[in-house]
Structure 1
Amino acid sequence: MNVRVAVETPRQPEVAALLALSDMIAAALYPGEPRRALNQETLDAPGIHLLVARQHGVAAGCCALFEGPEGTAELKRMVVEPSHQGQGVGRALLEAAEGLAQGLGVTRMQLEVGIRNTAGEALYRCAGYRDRAPFGRYRASPISRFLEKAL
């Protein structure tokens, strides 16, 4: 597998490319649907941690951990570059995000996943995430599922 995950600055070209890939995937899965924009500037803020997975030094994927209220954190914008899929990159990112969250005192990890992102949802469910109601600023949506895991 040889995947190394670390918190890195979002202000680097490899991260910009991964975020653009994430936008492209979301647009293909949910054409015409509104999406919450996340960019390098948004991710470079207090309480937000960008994790980058690297294989042989190459950025293979990323995700963001947003610290929330009352012992919660939200996992956002997980993406794995297609040539690195099926190699444990997503699982490594998820495990690293959960470990970071626990180190920050988080007791519940939350996320929103689109209904057409079957691979992402399968990963989360396999890792122990279960259905929950919308949280934070989210509202119920026919294209979204909301999941949570006690850490």
Structure 2
Amino acid sequence: MLVEQRTPDDPGLAALLADAFAELVRRYGAQGRTPLHPEAVCLVAVRDGRAVACGAVQPTGVPGTAEIKRMYVAPAARRGGLARVLLRELERHARAAGHTRLLLATGVENDAAGALYTAEGYAPTASFGKYVSEPFARCFAKDLGAPPA
């Protein structure tokens, strides 16, 4: 498996994002999705030449804090550790950009995501940003430590 940085207009990334949104609509209804921040770093996991997982890390506007967005693994590629690898790569990019804290949100029905985030050191936190008024969201945070020297 290979993890590559891609731009939001990349066809493989765009297809994964469309599938992710369709899954969210099936689970929670047609909720509005916000565009990625222009400085977001988008990563795609590639297996056998196909984009099978994605995620992004973007600044929040709070110094030192970034948000994980658009974590998604295609159904046929789940349960193989891709989400964990992708999450760790996103954390690496966040640290390299000088962020010391990460936030993320997942749906209340997504127990697998909640278990992954908890296992990777994320702790439940108060709702933030657009999630404050979203009853379907569970929010998590992780301190990354001091920025690299």
- TM-score (structure 1 length as normaliser): 0.87
Separation in structure 2 between the aligned mates of residue 9 and residue 92 of structure 1, nearest angstrom: 19
Q: 1:144 to 1:137 in 2, by over 3 A?
A: closer
Q: What is the CA deviation profile of residues 79-111 of structure 1, one whole-angstrom value per residue up to 9, with x for unaligned ones? A: 111111111111111000000001011100101
Structure 1 position 64, deviation (Å): 1.2
Choose the corresponding residue for 2:119, options 118, 126, 137.
126
Is 1:35 matched up with 2:32? Answer: yes
Structure-to-structure mapping, 1:90-101, within 5 angstroms = 90-101=83-94
Separation in structure 2 between the aligned mates of residue 115 and residue 138 of structure 1, nearest angstrom: 12
| 96-105 or 45-54, which deviates more | 45-54
Give 5+ residue unaligned stretches, structure 1.
none
For these two proteins, the number of residue pairs brought into alignment is 143
Choose the corresponding residue for 1:112, options 105, 112, 116.
105
Structure 1 position 28, deviation (Å): 1.1
Is 1:46 matched up with 2:38? Answer: yes
The code of the aligned residue for 1:35 comes to G
Separation in structure 2 between the aligned mates of residue 138 and residue 144 of structure 1, nearest angstrom: 6
Structure-to-structure mapping, 1:1-151, within 5 angstroms = 3-32=1-30, 34-37=31-34, 42-43=35-36, 46-68=38-60, 69-151=62-144
Aligned structure 1 segments of 4 or more residues deviating by more than 4 angstroms: none
SS in 2 for 1:61: strand
C-alpha RMSD of matched pairs (Å): 1.5
Q: 1:46 to 1:142 in 2, by over 3 A?
A: closer
Separation in structure 2 between the aligned mates of residue 30 and residue 22 of structure 1, nearest angstrom: 12
Separation in structure 2 between the aligned mates of residue 31 and residue 8 of structure 1, nearest angstrom: 28
